[in-house]
């Protein structure tokens, strides 16, 4: 959530940067300023009213002690009016503050200056590409046919048990899935990320803190009986570890990694681009996140991007990195890099990771601060990234590593799987 002082001091910048998201924020920003001025004015009136009331109360006490009851009683009429005024002012202040908070919660993060202007994913900027796309010949199969051929993922069984988007992994498919999780976690912990296991359900405060709530698009599964939400990513519970925390400056950075299943209600369109593992309602993901000092958060973002690059290079999958345009940028992000792996059998790029810097946007919602060298509390910067999301990585491995002998396992994963081929 944007801070009101930042908006007041940078109105033109906020409006210009939000225009990159194809949002005309002129009216919203004007309303924020208006509500903040009303809030400040009401707060000042309330403070003056309370101060006068307190002063009169002391004066009344002194008059009673001096035997001047008539004068004291005369003043009491004024204190009664001040009490009624303070109640009315408090109600007005609360209403104004609620309106201001509600409006602020609807305003997305301000894009970083490097974010390109654009409307859709077609306007994203490719900044890096690595790996050769293999020539699999005319008989190459998409992963959903390979899964059926080798009996490693059963989409129909998952549909029977739950519904579409909930596959069942079997045999070597389940072992490959587990191997990827272990491998990702080992890579992340070796890079200095502390592994944590977190709840798969969160409360409203946690969902609001990381920006998933209010959930305008209905993407989160809601357990209505307990008013809890199934997590869409480990980012939500892991980042909320630091909610309402005041850290010491020398405690930064905080770096965590976590494996969780992820749940998303997203209603997808139909067609080959959402078949198989391309879009699921439940999937596994290993996440990395950082809480950083504001002066080095963009250096940390580059480090996270380079870390994900090393994983894909070890898996020897052809991939590219995109800088997301304003129209494709997530609500909470200031700058996001998407990683995509090339699916040779589908002849298309599949998103497998997003690495983002949220600057102070989440920290403001979370009330996540640190005490700086001057002894003042300051909002930290938060970052997170997929390292990695499994379904499309698995799809990329199945399709790019298919051979006449079977599906070859990437060399780096063999110590984790215990086998070299799925045949």
265 annotated as a binding-site residue? yes
381-389, strands of its sheet edge to edge:
125-130, 319-323, 335-343, 348-359, 381-389, 282-292, 254-263, 194-195
For 354, counting Cβ atoms within 10 Å of its Cβ (0-12 exposed, 13-18 middle, 19+ buried), the class is buried
| C-alpha torsion 17→19→25→30, nearest 10 | 50
Between CA 87 and CA 95 the distance in angstroms is: 12
Between CA 115 and CA 103 the distance in angstroms is: 24
91 annotated as a binding-site residue? no
CB 239 within 8 A of CB 384: yes
351 annotated as a binding-site residue? yes
Q: Which residues pair with 421 in a beta bridge?
A: 408
Beta strands 125-130; 246-248: pairing state? unpaired
SS (H, E, C) 346-392: CCEEEEEEEEEEEECHHHHHHCCEEECCCCCEEECEEEEEEEEEHHH
Rg (CA), the chain: 27
60 annotated as a binding-site residue? no
Between CA 402 and CA 358 the distance in angstroms is: 39
Q: Which residues pair with 357 in a beta bridge?
A: 335, 383
End-to-end C-alpha distance for the chain, whole angstroms: 51
399 annotated as a binding-site residue? no
| CB-based contacts of 326, cutoff 8 Å, min separation 6 | 19, 20, 21, 22, 111, 115, 116, 117, 118
> At 381, phi and psi to the nearest 5?
-105, 140
Between CA 129 and CA 132 the distance in angstroms is: 9
Between CA 285 and CA 338 the distance in angstroms is: 15
Between CA 69 and CA 75 the distance in angstroms is: 10
Q: What does the block give as tokens for 187?
A: 């890579």
CB 381 within 8 A of CB 292: yes
Sequence ranges of the binding site = 233, 264-266, 287, 351-354, 384
Sequence ranges of the binding site for ATP = 264-266, 351-354
Sequence ranges of the binding site for L-serine = 233, 264, 287, 384
């Amino acid at each position: 959530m944007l801070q009101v002082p930042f908006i007041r001091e940078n109105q033109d910048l906020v409006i210009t940067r939000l225009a990159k998201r194809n949002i005309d924020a002129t009216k919203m920003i004007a309303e924020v300023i208006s509500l903040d001025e009303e809030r400040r004015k009401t707060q000042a009136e309330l403070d003056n009213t309370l101060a006068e009331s307190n002063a009169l109360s002391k004066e009344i006490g002194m008059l009673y002690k001096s035997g001047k009851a008539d004068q004291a009683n005369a003043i009491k009429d004024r204190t009664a009016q001040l009490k009624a005024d303070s109640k009315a002012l408090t109600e007005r202040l609360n209403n104004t503050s609620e309106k201001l908070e509600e409006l602020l919660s609807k305003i997305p993060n301000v894009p970083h200056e490097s974010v390109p202007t654009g409307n859709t994913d077609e306007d994203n900027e490719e900044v890096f590409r690595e790996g050769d796309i293999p020539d699999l010949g005319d008989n190459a199969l998409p992963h959903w046919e390979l899964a059926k051929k080798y009996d490693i993922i059963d989409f129909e069984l998952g549909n029977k048990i739950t519904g579409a988007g909930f596959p069942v992994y079997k045999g070597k498919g389940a072992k490959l899935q587990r191997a990827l999780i272990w491998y990702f976690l080992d890579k992340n912990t070796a890079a200095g990320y502390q592994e944590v296991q977190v709840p798969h359900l969160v409360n409203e405060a946690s969902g609001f803190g990381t920006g998933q709530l209010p959930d305008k698009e209905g993407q989160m599964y809601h357990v209505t009986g307990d008013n809890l939400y199934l997590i869409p990513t480990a980012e939500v519970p892991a980042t909320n570890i630091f909610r309402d925390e005041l850290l010491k400056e020398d405690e930064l950075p905080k770096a965590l990694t976590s494996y969780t299943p992820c749940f998303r209600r997203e209603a997808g369109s139909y067609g080959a681009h959402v078949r198989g593992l391309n879009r699921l309602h439940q999937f596994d993901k290993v996440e990395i996140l950082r809480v950083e000092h504001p002066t080095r958060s963009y250096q940390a973002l580059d480090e996270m991007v380079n870390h994900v690059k090393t994983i894909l290079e070890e898996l020897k999958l052809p991939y590219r990195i995109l800088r997301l345009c304003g129209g494709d940028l997530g609500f909470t992000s200031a700058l996001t890099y998407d990683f995509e792996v090339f699916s040779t059998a589908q002849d298309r790029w599949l998103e497998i990771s997003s690495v983002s810097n949220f600057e102070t946007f989440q920290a403001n919602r979370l009330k996540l601060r640190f005490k700086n060298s001057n002894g003042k509390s300051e909002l930290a910067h938060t970052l997170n990234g997929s390292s990695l999301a499994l379904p499309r990585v698995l799809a990329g491995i199945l399709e790019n590593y298919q051979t006449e002998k079977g599906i070859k396992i990437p060399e780096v994963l063999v110590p984790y799987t215990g086998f070299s081929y799925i045949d």
